[in-house]
Amino acid sequence: MKAVTWQGRRDVRVEEVPDPKIEKPNDAIVRVTSTNICGSDLHLYETLGAFMTPGDVIGHEPIGIVEEVGPEITDLRPGDRVVMPFQICCGHCFMCDIQLYTQCETTQVRDQGNGAALFGYSKLYGAVPGAQAEFLRVPEAQFSHIKVPEGPPDERFVYLSDVLPTAWQAVVYADVPQGGTLAVLGLGPIGDMACRVARQMGVDRVIGVDLVPERLARARARGVETLDWREHGKDLGDTVRELTGGRGPDSVVDAVGMEAHGSPVAKVAHQVTSLMPSALAAPMMKAAGVDRLAALYAAIDMVRRGGTVSLSGVYGGNADPMPMMRMFDKQIQLRMGQANVKRWVDDIMPLLIDDDPLGVDSFATHRLPLAEAPKAYDLFQKKTDGAVKMVLQP
């Protein structure tokens, strides 16, 4: 089959790789009909190469049709249409019972000290072959799937794999009080959708911050107040406070993560480690990795005292200075973590069945064949041509 493979920093290629097969009795094989490029895939493309092996198949946002199931699978059959959550979870361990599916005890990647295995996301999360491919092996298929109805186009449901539940959890974790204000830092796929989710949940006022004109325009078109980070970077906190009666927003979602603009020292550290041999770079990143924390620092600065900061952007460092005195003095609540996808599906699904209040049908900015994945990654990484969400079709 054809699949998108990682070959090095800013180097992905579509290659022929072996077709996946049933390896365990609770596996399934799915023929992928659409698969997305996630913002966190760009971390593999740019920063986390030390944990990748040339030839790794990447991607974790697929929808497709079941082709084959193992003998222990009773809830799926060939022909079923399914979305796969980006995390692989069993559905019956302690962590799954309390709906912390990203911490599944059956699939935890213990040799790396990390939570549930993820599709296509480096040895840090199990080195499981990913979903930017024609076919996908789905472990723990008794639970690691979401059945969706036939009829609507793939884009009505494919975002259940990651974007929708990640944005939903970010807003829930932000805990915006009734009548309150939410600021969203970063208007890429997650930040953009978080703004839409917040508005759908009835948040009275949403302020979106980014530095890409097309992304700011998309948010404004859906009733979001916007601020251009390029114009207000050094005084962003003061600007937001001026817009919120001098107090600051009740809650802030950081949808940027570890590659934020405005962190020059950490940017250089990322560039240096990305050029080092993996045998040296990997332990250095795990023991003393430094993130680009400009967005997180901005969130801590601007949120009102007693407010909540919700982190949905991916961070991977281990030795980052945090403004603990400031956080303690402001009595900030901090919530974070990868989205526990299936925890939120029942809440989200009614918004996808008939009408389209979240605008998922038109959410993608680019739709390309799988063969053009290298072009799609380049556009997405450079934020050119209005790139916000990329859908690949095998």
Judge contact between 229 and 236, C-beta under 8 A. yes
Compute φ and ψ for 387, nearest 5 degrees: -65, 120
Tell me, what's the pLDDT at 319? 58
CATH topology of domain 2-162+340-393: Quinone Oxidoreductase; Chain A, domain 1 (3.90.180)
Give 121-161 pLDDT, tens digit per residue. 999 999 999 999 999 999 999 999 999 999 999 999 999 99
Give 258-310 pLDDT, tens digit per residue. 554 444 444 444 444 445 455 444 554 444 444 468 888 999 999 999 999 99
Report the CATH architecture of 168-336.
Answer: 3-Layer(aba) Sandwich (3.40)
Radius of gyration of the chain (CA): 20
Give 186-234 pLDDT, tens digit per residue. 999 999 999 999 999 999 999 999 999 999 999 999 999 999 999 987 8
Q: Does residue 354 surpass a pLDDT of 90? A: no
Q: Tell me which of 94 and 273 has the higher pLDDT.
A: 94
**Single-letter residue type at 377:** Y
CA distance 15 to 1: 8
Tell me, what's the pLDDT at 287? 45
Q: Tell me which of 245 and 285 has the higher pLDDT.
A: 245
CA-nearest of 223, 93, 66, 206 to 148 is 66
Q: In which residue ranges of the chain is CATH 3.90.180.10 found?
A: 2-162+340-393
For residue 70 the two structure tokens come to: 């193992």
Judge contact between 59 and 49, C-beta under 8 A. no
Tell me, what's the pLDDT at 283? 55
Name the 3-class secondary structure at 313: coil
Give 19-53 pLDDT, tens digit per residue. 999 999 999 999 999 999 999 999 899 877 888 99
Tell me, what's the pLDDT at 318? 59
- Close Cβ partners of 146 (under 8 Å, ≥ 6 residues apart): 82, 83, 84, 85, 157, 160, 341, 342, 345
For residue 251 the two structure tokens come to: 């809650």
Q: In which residue ranges of the chain is CATH 3.40.50.720 found?
A: 168-336
Judge contact between 157 and 349, C-beta under 8 A. no
Compute φ and ψ for 326, nearest 5 degrees: -65, -45
Q: How far is CA 245 from CA 229, 238, 248, 304, in A?
A: 20, 11, 7, 11
- The separation between CA 106 and the C-alpha centre of its own chain, rounded to angstroms, equals 22
